[in-house]
Chains A and B, each alone.
Chain A
Amino acid sequence: MGGSGTVVMFEEEQQQIQAICDRLQRDSNSIAILVINKDGQEIARAGNTEHLDVTSLSSLFAGNVAATGGIAKLLAEKEFSGQFHEGEKTNIHLSLVAQRAILVVLFDTRSSLGLVRLRVKKASEELAKVFEALVKKMSAGNVSPVLGEISDDDIDNLFND
């Protein structure tokens, strides 16, 4: 990780993740795809997301996964890697990717749980490779040059009324 526990996303990996999301959305006939980090921050999205409050959803999905992870621990399970929520109009498939990200698929009657699961499996493997490469990049060295450039004045100016 860059800095003290900082996670960094680079242009190259962002584009790779975006491409995987776009492909997954098409191949699964889903409404939308979200990739979120476990702390509830959006990493990527694809499909029809204009009507979605992605910031709030990201936080809630992360809370959901965290709570489910807590339940798993109490039941001596490693994790509940997949979740499915059935709605009247929209269904949700949640899965953990590489222990560090959450892949969310929103779908309706134009798709099916079976198809989503099938496509998610492949996309998860592709995403895991990207995150692995990202972790290697972050462990390699100084990967957050912007942090070093921030001055005390920059921080003070942010809080001046």
Chain B
Amino acid sequence: MSFINYSSREINCKIVYYGPGLCGKTTNLQYIYSKTNPEAKGKMISLATETERTLFFDFLPLSLGEIRGFKTRFHLYTVPGQVFYDASRKLILKGVDGVCFVADSQVERMEANIESLDNLRVNLQDQGYNLDKIPYVVQYNKRDLPNSAPLDELKKVLNPTNVPEYEAVATTGVGVFDTLKAVAKLVLTELKRGG
């Protein structure tokens, strides 16, 4: 839920990165953090297990610049991808303005991608959101792996509604900022439409 503060002249929006376990959600945020100027970012918070699996969420605050004299700030969150953390995923989705679904391109993770996407749709519905109506992009991560599924197969299964989609290799940064810019743009466009 966007927050516009006329007093401090800020527009705040929330973007959530969603996807199955180990698909690259945290890696996306880590790359964004590493490449963003210090003035434009806050600390990255990661609530993770001892084995560095996301336990609750990762959080990264970014400033993207000014629009009409208002500072635009985006709060990026990731959810824990492992199946049994569903209760936490529901909480992190509250107040979301835009979603990036990170798919794991590996052939053997197709089922996990589908399950996670269904889970996203259901969890959004539980909060009164419709995935087909909110700012939403898809990222096909791990395109560099030899066992990555063909793109058209991933597209057919994971993006039937043809939302903006991006190939990525989050470990090296390929596609990471393209994805972020796309979802941020959609969020602002939606905000403007609702104004």
Contact = CB atoms under 8 A, between A and B. Distances in A.
Interface stretch (A3-11, A81-89, A118-126): A3-11
Given A9-B7, A14-B5, A150-B195, A155 B94 contact: no
Interface in A144-161: 144-150, 152, 154-156, 158-159
Given A3-B194, A70-B91, A147-B191, A155 B43 contact: no
A91 interface: no
Interface in A109-144: 142, 144
Interface string A50-65: 0001011001100100
B67 A158 contact: yes
Contact of A63 (B12, B72, B91, B190): B91
A66 interface: yes
A49 interface: no
B7 A14 contact: yes
A20 to B, nearest CB: 14
Interface in B1-40: 1-8, 11-12, 14
B109 interface: no
Contact of A59 (B3, B45, B192): B45
Interface residues of A, number: 43
Contacts of B8: 14
Interface string B155-195: 00000000000000000000000000100110011111111
A158 B72 contact: yes
Q: What DSSP secondary structure best describes chain B's contact surface?
A: mixed
A43 B56 CA distance: 24
A156 to B, nearest CB: 8
Residue in A15, A43, A59, A60 whose Cβ sees the most chain B Cβ within 10 Å: A59
Nearest to A142: B195
A150 B188 contact: yes
Contacts, number: 138
A41 B3 contact: yes
Contact of B3 (A9, A15, A147): A9
Interface string A4-33: 111111110011000000000000000000
A84 B186 CA distance: 39
20 contacts: A2-B194, A6-B2, A6-B194, A9-B5, A15-B7, A37-B3, A38-B94, A55-B43, A55-B61, A56-B61, A63-B57, A144-B4, A144-B194, A147-B191, A147-B194, A150-B195, A155-B185, A156-B185, A158-B66, A159-B181
Given A14-B7, A70-B88, A148-B192, 11 more contacts: A1-B1, A6-B2, A6-B4, A40-B14, A66-B92, A70-B87, A142-B195, A144-B194, A147-B4, A150-B195, A159-B184
